[in-house]
């Protein structure tokens, strides 16, 4: 009986991990404060003061292949064109939180 229960529990565990998507464990609320103090100068309200055509709207993020946490984290970390790199200024978890905030706001329409 113990063997059957063990096998069932193992099966349930494997099934759960095999068919669940990985969690993005970032904190959008914490990201809001970081965004306000580091990003809002150029991106207030999801806009872009440097290049007005490339906003943080969902449509623009999708258009420029930036509508994912991975893409945003990469851009914030490394910078690109006029955007400075924040690696060294922000910790990796802070950058993840900013990405979560940007995605949340883009989804809500800023």
- 31 part of a folded domain: yes
* Mean pLDDT value across the chain: 87
pLDDT on residue 25: 79
- 8 part of a folded domain: no
- 17 part of a folded domain: no
- Residue 104's Cβ-side half-sphere holds a number of Cα atoms within 13 Å equal to 15
Residue 12 has pLDDT above 80, yes or no: no
- The pTM of the whole model exceeds 0.75: yes
- CA 41 to CA 35: how far, in whole Å? 9
22-49: pLDDT as tens digits: 445 799 999 999 999 999 999 999 999 9
- 61 part of a folded domain: yes
CATH of the domain at 88: 1.10.760.10
Q: Is 58 exposed, middle or buried (0-12, 13-18, 19+ CB in 10 A)?
A: middle
- 4 part of a folded domain: no
Domain containing 57 equals 25-108
60-71: pLDDT as tens digits: 999 999 999 999
- 89 part of a folded domain: yes
CB 102 within 8 A of CB 47: no
Say how many domains are in the chain: 1
């Amino acid at each position: 009986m113990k063997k059957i229960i063990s096998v069932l529990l193992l099966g349930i565990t494997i099934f759960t991990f095999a068919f669940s998507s990985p969690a993005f464990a970032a904190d959008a609320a914490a990201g809001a404060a970081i965004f306000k103090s580091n990003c809002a100068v150029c991106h207030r309200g999801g806009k872009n003061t440097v290049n007005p055509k490339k906003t943080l709207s969902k449509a623009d993020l999708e258009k420029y292949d930036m509508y994912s946490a991975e893409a945003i984290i990469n851009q914030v970390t490394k910078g690109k064109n006029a955007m400075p790199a924040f690696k060294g200024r922000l910790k990796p978890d802070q950058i993840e939180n900013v990405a979560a905030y940007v995605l949340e706001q883009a989804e809500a329409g800023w």
